[in-house]
Amino acid sequence: MAGALTAVARVRAVPGSEDTVRDALIAMVAPTLEEEGCLDYRLHAVDSEPGLFCFVALWRSEADLDAHLEEPHIADGLAAIADHTESVVVTRMTRIA
């Protein structure tokens, strides 16, 4: 799948809000897997850093990822965690091998 776009989103919960953030992020997974252009979408909790969650996603194209970021379930999920996160950082990478 050379040319596919990988996105890694790191979401850090405010201490004490880990469960709220985890539940909201989990709710984003199923509808995202149904989106056009979503090839894989996985949510992880970072074992060595409690409260840090990472999505690792594979998209057919950058346009598909951009469309994903406009989906209502993403906007709703981000709104639900806005007061419960310290940071959300998305890194886009192009798969080359």
Beta pairing class for 38-45 and 52-59: antiparallel
**What pTM did the predictor assign?**
0.90
Rounded Cα gap, residues 74 and 56, in angstroms: 15
Count of beta carbons in the 10 Å neighbourhood of residue 89: 10
Q: Coil, strand or helix: which one is 31?
A: helix
pLDDT digits (tens, 9 = 90+) for 28-70: 999 999 999 999 999 999 999 999 999 999 999 989 999 999 9
pLDDT at 97: 74
Domain with residues 5-94, CATH architecture: 2-Layer Sandwich (3.30)
The model's confidence at residue 95, banded by pLDDT at 50, 70 and 90, is confident
Q: Is 5 exposed, middle or buried (0-12, 13-18, 19+ CB in 10 A)?
A: buried
Rounded Cα gap, residues 46 and 29, in angstroms: 17
Answer whether residue 1 shows pLDDT above 70.
no
